[in-house]
Amino acid sequence: MNPDSNQLIFDQPDDHQYLVNKRTFTDEELFEAEYSQIYDKLWLYVGHETEIPKPGDFVTRTIARRPLLLVRGSDGHVQVYLNTCTHNGSLVCREPAGNRDFFPCAYHGWVFDRDGELKEVPGESAFGPQFSKSANGLPTPPSQASYQGFVFISFAERGDLPDYLAGAKEYLDILSASSTDGMKVMPGTHIYGTSANWKMLPVNVIDGNHFLPTHVTYLQYLQERGSEMKHPIRDFHESVLGNGHTVFEYEAPWGRPQGKPDASWSDEVNAQVEARREELIERLGPELGDRIARKNRNLVIFPNLIINDIMGVTIRLAEPVSAGYMDVTAWQIAPTDDPPELAQVRNEQFLTFLGPGGFATPDDIEGMEASQRGFATYREVPWANYSKGIAAEIAGGLTNPGESDFMTRAFFNAWQGYLGITNFSELP
Amino acid sequence: MNSLPVPKQSTSPIQNSEVETFLSTEAWLLDTWQLDKWLGMFDPQARYQVPSTDGHHLNSVESLYLVDDDYRQLCFRVKRFDLPQGHAEQPHSITQRLVTNVLVHSEQNGVIDVTAGFSIFRSRHGVQSQYVGRYEHRLIRVDGELKFLNRKSLLVMPGLGVAGTVSIIV
Ligand code: FES
Ligand SMILES: [Fe+2]
């Protein structure tokens, strides 16, 4: 059967074919439909509670095109507000981060406190007796909930974050258990744009196919610094976690400051890493302790949160700007109690692979941006091929790392399910 | 370096022009991709650092930088530019750097703190993007020659934006 070039996805398991229309990465009308069906309805990651540890600490952030203000209130609770004044709509807070007891609106002087209450209205009596300050506090998004310190909101009314996170909860639990004293988001944020469709980022993270061709220079770096390179990617486990979330778990040649020593590190540092591993096994048992210490996890929580717990641990947030461009914000999350020598090695581990200046992430970005430019041929060459592994799946056999696109297929199936259409002709 | 003393030309035996020549030479070597020669401008104890755009004042252990290379990492960074699979810089970007506002802040026991402003116009895949910022370097004199002891580049930008990466030396 020949695919209809207006279909979003061509899924023919009998022919071992799963093709995604490249136009789904370039079409602005579809992009608007993604906003209304996905970004305006699902749970979206907005930030981590450890970014604002003290009452009055705040950050501002743009999520799904809305300006948001995250504040830790007097009672210690983290609240997300829509950053807009209840008077004439101006941004109430125009700073990226800080600590404040009050948020005075610059335009006409209304003053809100750190608990979102409206405290002062110049010329209040002129609004008449019906006006009440208590009814004009800072507005909040329709839904907000946290899981293990990860704060999510939704622009739809919903109360189901744990159900929505589904199998991804286990991985947030695992990450949060990585250190006895907890994990915290470190200051210093990687803020950058990528000239590619937003779907490319999660798909890149769960795509085991690209690792060797894209990242061979990183492996060379490890080799040259003296890491143990005998074993390639092994002991891997890929799984579909529900609702579009996926994870790829595996052991890799590199050390993990969280609990796997590396031959290139000093004996002192390796002793600290070994102690971390023993603490994990002591506290969580041999199976989970060893798994946290030794294995890497690439986690995608649909649609906008990506967590790589690999040689370093990074949280990334993708904000779609247009069909061909996204803003990416990335942080390091790390044990709160790393001694300075270990913290230094941990940062080196992170920065030599991850981030816009690493020896690997820029190559991922190059791959995504080069794909996006290639997608302009969608009329002549409509299909991106995500068929790897279907034949083995049908035969009931296992695949090796990098030999299956089954998580990518799960991602696109969930995406199409949320969109509620299967063909470009159904766009409003 | 906010606490640096205001520069006083009279107490500083090093001439501004010597630092200007050093920084212009560096820009020339980077723009013409003579990176092995560029590495020769570093002391083996040196670091190349780029703090995150929202964390200029933070130290590199307690915060996340964009780049925090010791000399070994820096050598690999340079080598990677010539590896065919260093995709992010294959083909190499075309750059033109403008370095200006050079100031010597202090010179003590052969350690010289300097600042300068820079902009880098970078073309890649037919698109030009820009990096703008300030250098806060620490130099030392080794056998009469200036060397980097700390080459710190503060990007004065809201984020990397369309520049996307710091895959070139900034
Ligand atoms: S818009 Fe805020 S006080 Fe008028
Ligand atoms: Fe990658």
Q: What is the pLDDT of residues B135-144, one digit of tens each?
A: 999 999 998 9
A272 in contact with chain B, both atoms CB, cutoff 8 A: no
Interchain CB distance below 8 Å, A373 and B125: yes
On whether residue B169 sits in a domain, the answer given is no
Interchain CB distance below 8 Å, A357 and B165: yes
On whether residue B80 sits in a domain, the answer given is yes
What value does the mean pLDDT take over residues A241-246? 98
On whether residue B124 sits in a domain, the answer given is yes
B57 in contact with chain A, both atoms CB, cutoff 8 A: no
State the virtual CA torsion across B50, B56, B58, B63 in degrees, nearest 10.
-50
Residue closest via CA to ligand 1's atom 1 equals A88
Q: A77-120, pLDDT tens digit by residue?
A: 999 999 999 999 999 999 999 999 999 999 999 999 999 999 99
User: What is the residue-averaged pLDDT of chain B?
Assistant: 94
- Please say if the pLDDT value at position B89 is more than 90: yes
Instruction: Answer for the pair B151, B137: CB distance below 8 angstroms, yes or no.
Output: yes
Is A121 touching ligand 1 by the criterion CB < 6 Å?
A: no
Distance A87 CA to ligand 1 centre (A): 5
Q: B122-169, pLDDT tens digit by residue?
A: 999 999 999 999 999 999 999 899 999 999 999 999 999 999 999 999
On whether residue B1 sits in a domain, the answer given is no
Q: pLDDT over 70 for what percent of chain A? A: 100
> Residue A194: what are its φ and ψ, rounded to 5°?
-130, 125
Question: Quick one: DSSP state of residue B86?
Answer: -
Q: Which domains does chain A have, with CATH numbers?
A: 44-163 (2.102.10.10), 177-419 (3.90.380.10)
Distance from CA of B82 to the nearest CA of A (A): 11
Distance from CA of A332 to the nearest CA of B (A): 7
Instruction: Answer for the pair A213, A249: CB distance below 8 angstroms, yes or no.
Output: no
What CATH number is given to the structural domain containing B22?
A: 3.10.450.50
The A residues from 160 to 189 touching B (CB cutoff 8 Å) are 186-189
Cα distance between residue A363 and residue B129, in whole Å = 18
Residue closest via CA to ligand 1's atom 4 equals A108
Chain A residue with minimal CA distance to B69?
A348
Res B135: pLDDT: 98
On whether residue B145 sits in a domain, the answer given is yes
Is A108 touching ligand 1 by the criterion CB < 6 Å?
A: yes
Domain holding B95, by residue range, is: 13-163
Distance A210 CA to ligand 2 centre (A): 6
Chain B residue with minimal CA distance to A216?
B85
Q: A161-177, pLDDT tens digit by residue?
A: 999 999 999 999 999 99
On whether residue B6 sits in a domain, the answer given is no
Rounded to two decimals, the pTM is 0.96
Cα distance between residue B127 and residue B164, in whole Å = 12
Choose the residue to mutate in A81, A105, A112 for probing ligand 1, maximizing ligand atoms within 8 Å of C-beta: A105
Cα distance between residue A217 and residue B76, in whole Å = 10
Q: A202-213, pLDDT tens digit by residue?
A: 999 998 889 889
Handedness of CA A101, A104, A109, A111 (dihedral sign): negative
- Please say if the pLDDT value at position A327 is more than 80: yes
Q: pLDDT over 90 for what percent of chain A? A: 92
On whether residue B96 sits in a domain, the answer given is yes
State the virtual CA torsion across A290, A292, A294, A297 in degrees, nearest 10.
140
Instruction: Tell me the pLDDT band of A383, cut-offs 50, 70 and 90.
Output: very high
Res A415: pLDDT: 98
Question: Quick one: DSSP state of residue B168?
Answer: S
> How many domains, in total, are found in chain B?
1
Interchain CB distance below 8 Å, B64 and A350: yes
On whether residue B3 sits in a domain, the answer given is no
